[in-house]
Amino acid sequence: MKAVFSDRQLGHRPAHIVSSGAAVASPETPARAEILLAAALALGLEREAPADYGLDPIRAVHTERYLTFLERIHERWLRIPGASTDVLPNVHPDTRDAVYPASAVGQVGFHVFDGAAPITADTWDAALWSAWTAVHAAREVLAGAPACYALSRPPGHHSGKELAGGFCYLNNSAIAARELRGRYEKVAILDVDVHHGNGTQDIFYECDDVLTVSIHANPVRFYPFFWGAADETGAGAGHGYNCNLPLPRGTGDDDYLATLEQALGRIADYAPGALVVALGLDASGDDPFAGFAITTRGFGRIAERVAGLRLPTVLVQEGGYPQPGLGDNLAAFLGAYCL
């Protein structure tokens, strides 16, 4: 199996994020990508760099005004007297149907929904290469590989059609799913990150050609707070094609695996031609976000069940933050695809 990654993805290094009102160092560091890459290579995966695939695969998921915003906002921001070095929001609309402002400050509030997605001079470049990593992995699978690992960093599943937040700028998993749709009539996304994939839900909420299934810590007491309830099931043509399976904080291997069976049943009923796994590893009991208590062996058991679907699969890296077991957890998951 191949591990797709570009060193260009390392350029994004925000000075800080805002967490509980405080300016703190981001756990979403270039070093975490290096830990994940080392673990994938130690497992025997073959490293491959993505190509530049242009904006078309990204336009399949995000709006034009959002992409223009992401590309140019840092340069515009620096022209504001007294502005911070990295772009961060300090105002938000009460709904996203609000008037679209011309001001840089207003547009940042419109497009960036929290303080955990600062935009630096290198963010656009790193996010593009992260998205192209997902495109490249999807094309590997379209070319006949049973599975491919996209080490997408920065991650993507909190990024909506025109929203950044939660360390995410471009929705790599959604971009991979749209790429797979080029051949397969139906594609499923299974999101195992401890946080709800609100961006992925936003993108496909009214679609019936991409089934979205997310297992995550209940948002009533966990990020992203405003999305991820079980009664969010899709709208219009997409009604019934968005499946949220929230679980209590502290959920361990056995309870998680029982819920995974429901998720896999839903995917089997849908009968997709291919699968994207939004591969967050922050469900680990040792992750700094401490949402679930999945063990390294648990990640292996989860992966065995998912691999048992025997679908062409793109594994797209989402969350999972530096802690001593991070690399082992990735190896446990990818190991099920190397047999």
114, 193, 232, 253: residue in contact with Zn ion (rule CB under 5 A): 193
Contact call for residues 132 and 50 (beta carbons, < 8 A): yes
How far is Cα 9 from Cα 127, in angstroms, rounded to an integer? 7
67 or 163, CB closer to Zn ion? Answer: 163
- The structure tokens listed for 96 are 């996203």
165 or 280, CB closer to Zn ion? Answer: 280
Among the listed residues 3, 1, 6, the one whose alpha carbon sits nearest the alpha carbon of residue 47: 3
How far is Cα 145 from Cα 188, in angstroms, rounded to an integer? 17
Question: Which amino acid, one-letter code, is at 63?
Answer: T
- The stretch among 26-34, 109-117, 188-196, 198-206 that binds Zn ion (CB under 5 A) is 188-196
Positions 253 through 282 that interact with Zn ion (CB under 5 A): 280, 282
Positions 1 through 20 that interact with Zn ion (CB under 5 A): none
How far is Cα 155 from Cα 132, in angstroms, rounded to an integer? 12
203 or 274, CB closer to Zn ion? Answer: 203
- Find the shortest distance in angstroms from Cβ 269 to Zn ion: 27
Strands (E), 194-311: 210-217, 242-247, 274-279
Q: Which of 158, 195, 196, 216 is catalytic?
A: 158
89 or 319, CB closer to Zn ion? Answer: 319
Positions 295 through 324 that interact with Zn ion (CB under 5 A): 319
What is the contact mask toward Zn ion in residues 206 to 245, using x (rule: CB under 5 A)? Answer: ----------------------------------------
- Find the shortest distance in angstroms from Cβ 274 to Zn ion: 23
Which run of H or E residues covers position 190? strand 187-191
Buried b (16+ CB within 10 A) or exposed e, 168-191: bbbbbbbbbbbbbbeebebbbbbb
The residue sitting closest to Zn ion, measured at its beta carbon, is: 319
How far is Cα 323 from Cα 39, in angstroms, rounded to an integer? 13
How many residues appear in the chain? 339
Q: Is 157 a catalytic residue?
A: no
- Find the shortest distance in angstroms from Cβ 77 to Zn ion: 27
The answer to the question of residue 195 lying near Zn ion (CB under 5 A) is yes
Among the listed residues 218, 191, 225, 198, the one whose alpha carbon sits nearest the alpha carbon of residue 306: 191
312 or 320, CB closer to Zn ion? Answer: 320
How many binding residues for Zn ion (CB under 5 A)?
A: 5
- Find the shortest distance in angstroms from Cβ 114 to Zn ion: 13
Contact call for residues 330 and 39 (beta carbons, < 8 A): yes
157 or 301, CB closer to Zn ion? Answer: 157
- Find the shortest distance in angstroms from Cβ 310 to Zn ion: 27
- Find the shortest distance in angstroms from Cβ 166 to Zn ion: 7
Q: Which residues are catalytic?
A: 158
Contacts with Zn ion, residue ranges (CB under 5 A) = 193, 195, 280, 282, 319
